[in-house]
Amino acid sequence: MEKRVDDARGRLTKDGIRIYDSADFAGMHAAGRVAADILDKMAAHVFPGQTTGEIDRIITDLVNEAGVISATIGYKGYQHASCISVNHVVCHGIPGPKQLKDGDILNIDVTVIVDGWFGDSSRMYVAGKLGRKAERLIQVTHDALMKGIEVVRPGKTFGDIGHAIQAYVEAHRMSVVRDFCGHGLGRVFHAAPNVLHYGRPGTGAVLEEGMFFTIEPMVNLGRPETKTLADDWTAVTRDKSLSAQFEHSIGVTKDGCEIFTLSPAGRFHPTYDAD
């Protein structure tokens, strides 16, 4: 008997990128909404004195209450329902007992699996009062993600997306991290292509309707280089400069794209502007 592999739906392009059906968009919207809902709820739990471990515990509870699965617990040995990256941590910060201080900025990244579909999103938060430089960094990073998303439509290339992000960030005298990228997703967490947040127009694979992927630029106030700490996860800026990141999961449509991880409460935009 032939066993149907769970992610073997649609077809693959010559670049190995899976093309999903129009019916699959509903599954991604459901998964993206759960991730976005959890991120919406976290704004109230970020304050000076709070620990990142406690934030992750709350996220774990919300994942369980929603009756869905955390994609990160058990992923390559990772043991938490979120990555929480504070100040000069670029990504993959491990939640722990360290208390947030007034003015700390942090990215919370949550990925859930809902009926087999992956929803992956991250946003920035601030503990207490936001400093001027951090505010600028967060705004530019958010807007860079949106510049990348604006490019997305069939016929454009992944290089077009990367170029739009890089040009915007560098025009603001900040730098794009090269060591990490976005990724295809759908019935799997990380699939082709690598979605680079820098690049040249017209290069890379051509976008087609039915592609699902993340865009998740990491932007540094200083230089782009990173290093990974001895825990094998935590990536930090080499020059200790502040870093920010925003991530959406999206799907390419006939004439643009749909964002799966939009904030139901309108809080995706930097939280200091939300309420």
> By the criterion CB under 6 A, which residues form the site for ligand MF3?
72, 75-76, 78, 83, 92, 109, 111, 120, 183, 216, 233, 247
C-alpha to C-alpha distance for 36 and 156, rounded to whole angstroms: 27
Q: How far is the CB of 233 from ligand MF3 (least distance, A)?
A: 6
Say which entry of Co ion, ligand MF3, none residue 132 contacts (CB below 5 to 8 A, set by partner kind).
none
Q: Which is nearer to Co ion, 104 or 109 (CB)?
A: 109
Say which entry of Co ion, ligand MF3, none residue 83 contacts (CB below 5 to 8 A, set by partner kind).
ligand MF3
Q: How far is the CB of 21 from Co ion (least distance, A)?
A: 22
Q: How far is the CB of 182 from ligand MF3 (least distance, A)?
A: 7
Helix (H, G, I), strand (E, B), or coil: what is residue 145?
A: helix
SS (H, E, C) 158-201: HHHHHHHHHHHHHHCCCEECCCCCEEECCCCCCEEEEECCCCCC
Say which entry of ligand MF3, Co ion, none residue 164 contacts (CB below 5 to 8 A, set by partner kind).
none
C-alpha to C-alpha distance for 241 and 239, rounded to whole angstroms: 5
Say which entry of Co ion, ligand MF3, none residue 78 contacts (CB below 5 to 8 A, set by partner kind).
ligand MF3
Q: Which is nearer to ligand MF3, 160 or 247 (CB)?
A: 247
The backbone torsions φ and ψ at residue 193, rounded to the nearest 5 degrees and listed phi first, read -95, 170
CA separation, residue 96 to residues 40, 52, 86, 100, 104 (Å): 21, 5, 11, 11, 15
Say which entry of Co ion, ligand MF3, none residue 75 contacts (CB below 5 to 8 A, set by partner kind).
ligand MF3
Q: Specify the pairing of strand 117-126 against strand 105-114.
A: antiparallel
What are residue 91's DSSP bridge partners?
A: 235
Q: How far is the CB of 78 from ligand MF3 (least distance, A)?
A: 3
Q: How far is the CB of 131 from ligand MF3 (least distance, A)?
A: 26
